[in-house]
Structure 1
């Protein structure tokens, strides 16, 4: 097999992994791709991980470095506003994550309106949950535990109160997500098992509270981590070497 054939086969497998039977449930209308739930999907994933191990190591190392840098910057910002201290943020994000999953499982995002921006919870209710009801489907969605919360990107407002600031977090959690038919209770998509998943949740600081404002695919984790944080000069954050792209 020449280099061109190897490249084409690898590209085909990657496209297959990313697009076959893609997303089926969870807050944001999407969770881990169903492909990875199958035994042969996991086998292919393991094989690809071995092949691309150097790239995997690079991605994780790069994320680790940038996450540490972001935590240092948050520590400086916390001197101005304690709501930005890492211990406070970690606790807040875990709480919001759990509250949103409970509301989602109850098919009533209004229950989480205290933790989610108004436009986002209403959008998810109308576009995803209510649509599944019309299709006679229900999403069973539960959190076993939140393993880790990591700050990937900061977009700090220049307002004195820091209102409007946004932070992107990578959340590693053990969750259960699957769709069932309301009449037969038969599993339509997914599996009734807990699995480790990664999410990217974007929170916005509004009226002195952190609110969920968007959910992105975990594939964007490195892209967020590599993006230069936006921090006003007026905060006088300790100068930390800029990120290289």
Structure 2
């Protein structure tokens, strides 16, 4: 179910909420079960590789410590959604790269406002944060430009509401689990949101992992 709730611009799909939609979902699940299992295995292997690479990089810097990263990503997720719901990203701006703030987020908010609608997205609980792909860079030293792609699943609702009538014009008020793909970039020693993609892009990142050389061959083990 392709869905990109709140930040990112695409409203979470409601196609499987009806009775026949649920029937269709069961049919599709059965039909594509082998592929689902294969992709799940690939995702687990990608997660294992990302965790291993991050653990290796902690020899250089604590900015790669996964426990600290999880808290940073959780805070980023909640703060960006809060700013999005308030239609004011000024407080969340320090959690995002300038490029992403200017060229992505504001475009959607201003466009919806001009159409007389507002995106309502309320996060009840952030359930999982899973590393998918780590790419080391070293722009201007200190590992600047390094990127980390993570999958985040939250229980939330997401819909467009008409400002005057209060009518739901797209999406649903129903709370459900929504998975999105977030990319973080290391800037000035801080991990910032640089992209938010729908879950349909997940496997493209998973497939990219197999083409990446071992982290040890690109970042030599530091001297003791």
What TM-score results when the alignment is normalised by the length of structure 1? Answer: 0.82
State how 1:136-151 maps to structure 2 within 5 Å.
136-151=116-131
Name the structure 2 match of 1:49: 29
Name the structure 2 match of 1:179: 160
Q: SS state of the match for residue 111, structure 1?
A: coil
Q: Following TM superposition, by how much is the alpha carbon of 1:193 offset from its aligned partner in structure 2, in angstroms?
A: 1.6
**The structure with more radius of gyration:** 1
Q: Following TM superposition, by how much is the alpha carbon of 1:95 offset from its aligned partner in structure 2, in angstroms?
A: 0.8
Q: Following TM superposition, by how much is the alpha carbon of 1:191 offset from its aligned partner in structure 2, in angstroms?
A: 1.3
> Cα deviation per residue 1:18-50 (whole Å; 9 max; x = unaligned)?
7xxxx7851010143232333322220121101
CA distance in 1, matches of 2:95, 2:216: 26
User: What residue ranges of structure 1 are gaps of 5+ in the alignment?
Assistant: 1-16, 239-245
Q: Following TM superposition, by how much is the alpha carbon of 1:234 offset from its aligned partner in structure 2, in angstroms?
A: 5.5
Query: In the alignment, does 2:205 pair up with 1:235?
Result: no
Equivalent pair of 2:123/2:156 in contact (CA under 8 Å):
yes
Q: Following TM superposition, by how much is the alpha carbon of 1:232 offset from its aligned partner in structure 2, in angstroms?
A: 7.3
Name the structure 2 match of 1:122: 102
Query: In the alignment, does 2:38 pair up with 1:58?
Result: yes
User: What residue ranges of structure 2 are gaps of 5+ in the alignment?
Assistant: none
What TM-score results when the alignment is normalised by the length of structure 2? Answer: 0.90
Q: SS state of the match for residue 20, structure 2?
A: helix
Structure of higher RCO (CA pairs closer than 8 Å, 6+ residues apart): 2
Q: Which has the higher strand share?
A: 2
Name the count of aligned residue pairs. 218
Q: SS state of the match for residue 193, structure 1?
A: strand
Pick from 63, 73, 82 the counterpart of residue 83 of structure 1. Answer: 63
Between 199-208 and 58-67, the greater mean CA deviation after superposition: 58-67
Q: Which has the higher helix share?
A: 1
Equivalent pair of 2:11/2:159 in contact (CA under 8 Å):
no
CA distance in 1, matches of 2:147, 2:89: 21
The CA RMSD over aligned residues, in Å, is 2.1
